[in-house]
Chains A and B, each alone.
Chain A
Amino acid sequence: MGAKTLAAVMLVIAAGVVGGLYLLSAPHPVNASSLPQHVPDPANGEVMYNAGGCISCHKPAAGQGEGDATLPSGGVPFNTPAGTFYPPNITPDRETGIGAWSDANFVNAVQHGISPHGTHYIPAFPYSSYGRMRVEDVLDLKAYLFSLPAVKGKRRPPEVMLGSVGEAVMRRATGLWKLLRGDARRIVHHADESAPWNRGAYLVDAPGHCGECHTPRNFLMIPIASEKFQGGPHPEGKGKGKVPSLIDLVGRKRYKDADDLANALQFGETFGYDKLSSGGMGAVQTNLSKLPEGDIKAIATYLVGLTGSRQ
Chain B
Amino acid sequence: MSNRRVLTVASGLMAVTLATSAVLAASPIEDRQAAMKAVGKAMGELAKIAKKEKKFDAATVKADAQTIHDKLGTAKGLFPEGSDKGHKTRALAAIWKDRSTFDAALERAEKASLAMTEVTSEDQFMPAMNKLGGACKNCHDKFRKPEE
Contact = CB atoms under 8 A, between A and B. Distances in A.
Interface residues of B, number: 26
B90 interface: yes
A242 B145 CA distance: 8
B43 A244 contact: no
Residues of B contacting A: mostly: helix
Contacts of A280: 141
Interface string A256-277: 0000000100011111111101
A122 B129 CA distance: 40
A279 interface: yes
B75 interface: no
B50 interface: yes
- Give the size range of A's interface with the partner: 20 to 34
Interface string A230-270: 00001000011111100000000000000000010001111
A263 B50 CA distance: 11
Contacts of B92: 239-241
A278 interface: yes
Contacts of B129: 270
Nearest to B139: A277
Residue with the greatest number of chain A CB neighbours at <10 A, chosen from B47, B51, B134, B137: B137
Contacts of A124: none
Contacts of A267: 50, 133
Contacts of A282: 137-138, 140-141
A242 B130 contact: no
A269 B137 contact: yes
A272 B148 CA distance: 19
A32 interface: no
Interface in B23-53: 40, 43-44, 46-48, 50-51
Given A267-B50, A272-B44, A278-B141, A244 B93 contact: no
Nearest to B93: A239
A281 interface: yes
B67 to A, nearest CB: 14
B47 A278 contact: no
Contacts of A234: 146
B125 to A, nearest CB: 11
A32 to B, nearest CB: 41
B51 A263 contact: yes
From B40, B92, B93, B132, residue with most partner A Cβ within 10 Å: B92
A158 B126 CA distance: 43
B111 interface: no
* Residue of A239, A273, A275, A278 most packed against chain B (CB within 10 A): A278
B113 to A, nearest CB: 13
B136 A277 contact: yes
20 contacts: A240-B92, A241-B92, A243-B146, A244-B147, A244-B148, A268-B133, A269-B43, A269-B133, A269-B134, A269-B137, A270-B130, A270-B134, A272-B40, A272-B44, A272-B133, A277-B136, A279-B144, A280-B141, A282-B137, A285-B137
Interface of B: 40, 43-44, 46-48, 50-51, 90, 92-93, 129-130, 132-134, 136-138, 140-141, 144-148
